[in-house]
Amino acid sequence: MNKNMITILAIESSCDETSAAICSDGKILSNIIVNQTIHEKYGGVVPELASRAHLQNIVPVVDEALSTINYDLSTVDAFAFTQSPGLIGSLLVGAQFAKSMALAMDKPLIAVHHLQAHVLANLIPDKKPGFPFLCLTVSGGHTQIILCEDYLKMKIIGETLDDAAGEAFDKSAKILGLPYPGGPLIDKYAQGGDGNKFKFPEPQIDGLNFSFSGLKTAFLYFIQNEKLKNKNFAEENLEDICASIQQRIVSILLNKLKKAAAKTGIKNVCIAGGVSANKGLRRSFENLGKEMNWNTFIPPFEYCTDNAAMIAITAYYKYLAADFSELSVSPSARAEW
């Protein structure tokens, strides 16, 4: 290892994934993610169980992030963590751990905003977008169109007024009786289905903002009505239903992204966040990019859903900008950029 390299150890613990990553000079060397399966039977993340599971996972996860690349703590130049937004009990575990290591090793601490990190996950692969670029960030809690002018200079130019795209996936899955998180299951069943079979409404929202709550209600009533006629409707038509709801969510997202690109004149366009793992969204986004002559960027799967690699890459740029935090910094469930 080159001693002049800047090595960051980052922790992500904002929701139900415990993750640790090591990055040297902007290159990800390890990224360990442990998913918490305990929430499946509750149909959603139980905050108290999530923070307890983080407490159990954090030491082995950090240990593995270091040991898989034969690094030890003394090689680390700064410790980073997700400061916000997220579940407060979960954030606290990562924050306290990173602070303790920074204090013990006498190294700087870097606080990272989870949503900025999702955007900058696009800077992990060798093929990176130039500035300025647009990023559609679609996760379980957020749906945003970001105008990214520089590494740490971003503004939100469109966002959801109610549910996030990930919630639209998860709630539709729940209506179909699928376990949490249902987004990946809708993706799976959609692959064998016909997306034009059932029609769901596209909300008419001005500007670059989104709304998904009307779609959720329309979907609920549609399934309830069809079940009155045939109680096995959902099971018998699962693939076509999943393909159709997925197609509508994707078209809502991409129509707004198209509008944002036209309005800003920006041709470097990215997607990010858990929902960007969706195969239908990835395929339609690539096709739209070809049609519109965009340069398109999508993070590899492991950097779409929550992961510490994206925290590490963001912390690396913060390190270069000497943007460090005091040990007194607190995590926050909600926070501005």
Q: Which residue is nearest to ligand KG4 (CB)?
A: 274
Q: How far is the CB of 284 from ligand KG4 (least distance, A)?
A: 12
d(CA 72, CA 74): 6
CA 71, 72, 76, 82 dihedral sign is positive
Q: Is position 85 an interface residue for ligand KG4 (rule: CB under 6 A)? A: no
Q: How far is the CB of 14 from ligand KG4 (least distance, A)?
A: 7
Q: Is position 278 an interface residue for ligand KG4 (rule: CB under 6 A)? A: yes
> Given the complex with ligand KG4, which of 187 and 240 has the nearer CB atom?
187
**Which long-range CB contacts under 8 A does 34-39 form with residues at least 24 apart?**
34/60, 34/61, 39/180
One of 8, 121, 250, 275 touching ligand KG4 (CB under 6 A): 275
Residue 187 touches which member of ligand KG4, Zn ion, none, C-beta under 5-8 Å by kind:
ligand KG4
Tell how strand 143-150 and strand 133-138 pair up.
antiparallel
Distances in Å between the Cα of 112 and the Cα atoms of 100, 116, 132, 192, 293 are 16, 8, 21, 39, 33
Candidates 1-9, 34-42, 94-102, 182-190; binding stretch for ligand KG4 (CB under 6 A): 182-190
Residue 129 touches which member of Zn ion, ligand KG4, none, C-beta under 5-8 Å by kind:
none
Q: Is position 172 an interface residue for ligand KG4 (rule: CB under 6 A)? A: no
SS3 assignment, position 26? coil
For residue 283, how many other CB atoms are within 10 A of its CB? 11
d(CA 71, CA 63): 10
Residue 277 touches which member of ligand KG4, Zn ion, none, C-beta under 5-8 Å by kind:
ligand KG4
Q: How far is the CB of 190 from ligand KG4 (least distance, A)?
A: 9
d(CA 104, CA 91): 20
Beta carbons of 114 and 14 less than 8 angstroms apart: yes
Q: Is position 13 an interface residue for ligand KG4 (rule: CB under 6 A)? A: no
What is the binding site for Zn ion (CB under 5 A)?
139, 306
> Given the complex with ligand KG4, which of 90 and 268 has the nearer CB atom?
90
Residue 23 touches which member of ligand KG4, Zn ion, none, C-beta under 5-8 Å by kind:
none
One of 139, 244, 284, 325 touching ligand KG4 (CB under 6 A): 139
Q: How far is the CB of 105 from ligand KG4 (least distance, A)?
A: 29
User: How far is the first Cα of the chain from the last one, in angstroms, to the nearest whole number?
Assistant: 34
Helices 88-105 and 47-67 meet at what angle, rounded to 10?
A: 30
Q: Is position 273 an interface residue for ligand KG4 (rule: CB under 6 A)? A: yes
Q: Is position 277 an interface residue for ligand KG4 (rule: CB under 6 A)? A: yes
74, burial (CB in 10 Å: exposed 0-12, middle 13-18, buried 19+): exposed
Q: How far is the CB of 227 from ligand KG4 (least distance, A)?
A: 23
